[in-house]
Chain A
Amino acid sequence: MSTFQIASPAPRRRGGRARRIRGALAFYGFISPWLIGTLLLTAFPVGYAVYMSFTDWNGMTSFMPWVGLSNYQQVFTSGDTLSALSKTLILCAIVVPITIAGSLFLAVLLNKRMRGRTILRTLIYLPAVVPPVASALIWKVIFDKNSGAANRILAIFHVDPLDWLNGQLAFVVMIVVLLWGVGAGIIINLAALQTVPAEQLEAAKMDGANAFRSFRHVTLPAISPILLFQTVLVTITTLQTFVPAILLSPIAGSNVYTNIPPANDVYMVDVYEQYFDYSRYGMGSAMLVVFFAVILLMTGLIFKFLGRSVFYAVDPSESGKG
C-alpha cells in the first residue's frame, strides 16, 4: 500500500465532470435504502398526519372533512389535552433531573479505581437492558396491592397497604419504572469522564482544589456538552412515555388500553385514545404534529448551542474545519 501513498494526492483533483456525476450517482446509490426508506416511512406518514390534522376524519368515511386549524386550537384549549400535557411535563420535571444527576453521580463513583468495579457496573447497568414491557410487568408484580413486595415493606413500618396501581399512586409507580433504567446514562457519562484532560485535573489538585472544586471547575465544564445532549435525549424519551403507562394498569388482559389509571393519562396515551378509542383521527394527528414540532425545535436548539460538534465527534475529515 505504501507505493500508492506517493501517487494518492494526484488523481483526486483530476476528476472531470463525468467522473463527478458518476461519483454522485454512486453516492445516491449507496444511501438509497435509507433515503427511500425515510421518504416512505418517515416523511410520508408525517405528511399524512399533517394532512389528517386539518380534517375531522373518523377513519370510516371515504372523504376527510376539512376543518382548518380547529384541531390545533383544541390541542391547546381542551381540558383533557392540557391535563395530559401537564402530567407529561411534571413527569419530565421529575425524571429528567434525577436521571441526569443520578447517572453522572454513579459514573463519577464508578470511575474511581476499586475492586469489583466491573461487576458493580454490570449490575447497575442491567435494568437498562430490560425491555420496557418487562420492566412494567416486573414493577406491576412488586406494586400489586395484595401480593406485592412494596406493601410488605410498608408493613414492616406498620403502614397500611396502599393501592399503588390505582389512583394517583400509579403515577409514582410509573416514575419508579422510568428511573430504574438510570444505568443507560452511566455508560455515556463514564465515556465522557475519560475525555476530561488529566493534566487539568492534576493542575487543579496542585493548586489545592478539593475533589468537589475540581469536579465543579474542571470536569463539569469539560463534559457539559455531553450532559446537555443527554438532557435533550432523556427529555425526548420521557415525553413519549407510553408503554409503562398502559401496562401498569391492574387489569392486564387484551383490554389494557381501556383500563389505564387516569393518573397515567400522559400525552402519548391521550394521542392513542384520540385515535383508537374516540376515532378522532384529526385530533390525534394534530397532537402528534405538535409533539413532532416540539422535538424538532429541541433538536434544533442543541444544534444551535452545541453546533454539530457533538455529532461529528470522531470524524477526522470534519475536525480540521473547527
Chain B
Amino acid sequence: MALHDVRTDPETTTRTPRPAPRPPAAPIRRRRERNRIAFAILVLVALLVTAPFVELLISALTPGSEIGADRWLPSMFRWANISDAIDYIPYWDLTRNSVFLATLSGVLTTFSSAITGYGFARMRGPGKKFLFGVLIMTMMVPPIVTLIPTYLLFSRYGLVGTYLPWVFWGAAGTPYTIFLYRQFFSSMPKELEEAAIIDGAGRIRIFVQIFLPLSRPLLVTAFVLAFNAVWGDFVAPDLFLNSSNTTLAVGVSSGYTNQAGYPLYNLLASGAMLYVIPVVLLFLFAQRSYVRGFANSGLKG
C-alpha cells in the first residue's frame, strides 16, 4: 500500500498530528519563537509568489486608456475587458480545441499507461528488467528532443495539422504515469489474481475487473497530469497545428496584439487569466491527486 503510506504522503501526514518528539526540559518558548519566525518567512514568501496573480488581475481590469499610467490601481475596474478578450481572439473555439485535445489525450494516456504499468507489475517475460530500465530512461528524456524530428517525420506523412499525433502520444502512454501505475499494482497482494485464475478468468478480465477499479485514485491523478500537460503545452500545438484548429495556449500567447504587433496588455492579461483559472481550479479541487503525482517521483533512498 505504498501510495497510501502515511509517511510518504504529505497530505495525510499533515492532517494527522504526529507525536512531536519532545526533549526533556525542552526550551519550549524558544521553539515557539522559532516557529514564529518560520511563520513570518512563509507568509512573506506566500505574498511574494502570489503578488503576480494580483497584478495580473489588476492589469486584466485596467481600461486601455490607463495602461502605462503611474498608479497601482486604475480609476475603475473595467469588467468589459474580459468580454473584449473573449471577442478579440476566437476564444471559444480555442477553448473547445484545448478541452477536446486534453480530454482525448488524458483518457488515452490514463488507460494505456495503466495497461503497461500492469504488465510491468504483475507479469513475467524475458527482457522485462531491461525494458523497465528503458522506461526509466525515457522518463528522463525531455519531449522537446523528439518533438522536432517527429514533426519532420509526421509532415512527410501528412499528419501535421491534425489531432492524430495526440492520439498516438496518448495511446503510447506516459513513462512517468506508467511508473506510478507499476508501483501501485506491485503493492497489491498476489492472492488477488490467484483466486481469479482459479476461477478461470483470463488476464484481460483480471485487469479490467479487479485491478483497474482498484486503481481509481491513480486514474484521477493520471488524468489530471495528462490533461494539464496538454492544456499547458505551447510548443507542440504551435508546431503541429494551424490557426484553424490550434489550442488556447497558442491563441492567448499570440493573439492579443495591435496592428503594429505590440501586445495589448490589458487584453493579454484578461486572456491569460481566463486561460489560467481552469488550471488553478483544477488544482484546488484535485490537490490530493497533484500531490500524489509529484510526491512519488522517485522517493525513498
Contacts and interface: CB of A to CB of B under 8 A. Distances in A.
A191 interface: yes
B137 to A, nearest CB: 6
B35 A123 contact: no
Interface string B27-62: 000000011001101110110011011011001000
Q: How large is the interface on A (under 10, 10 to 19, 20 to 34, 35 or more residues)?
A: 35 or more
Interface in A112-165: 112-118, 120-124, 126-127, 129-134, 136-142, 144, 146-147, 149, 152, 155
Contact of B261 (A146, A180, A205, A255): A255
A49 interface: yes
Nearest to A254: B254
B60 to A, nearest CB: 9
B53 A126 contact: yes
A140 B263 contact: yes
A49 B149 contact: yes
Interface in A277-292: 281, 284-285, 288, 291-292
Given A49-B145, A187-B10, A288-B148, 14 more contacts: A5-B191, A30-B118, A126-B50, A131-B228, A138-B52, A138-B55, A149-B72, A188-B297, A201-B21, A202-B21, A226-B299, A285-B149, A313-B296, A315-B2
Nearest to A257: B238
B158 interface: no
Contacts, number: 349
Which among B17, B135, B141, B279 has the greatest number of chain A C-beta atoms within 10 A?
Answer: B141
Contacts of B296: 191, 313-314
Interface of B: 2-3, 5, 7-10, 13-14, 17-18, 20-21, 23, 34-35, 38-39, 41-43, 45-46, 49-50, 52-53, 55-56, 59, 67-68, 70, 72, 112-113, 115-116, 118-120, 123-126, 128, 131, 134-138, 140-142, 144-146, 148-150, 152-153, 168-169, 171-173, 175, 178-179, 183, 186-187, 190-192, 194-195, 198, 203, 207, 228, 231-235, 249, 252-254, 256-257, 261-263, 265, 268-269, 272, 275-276, 279-280, 283-284, 287, 290-291, 294-301
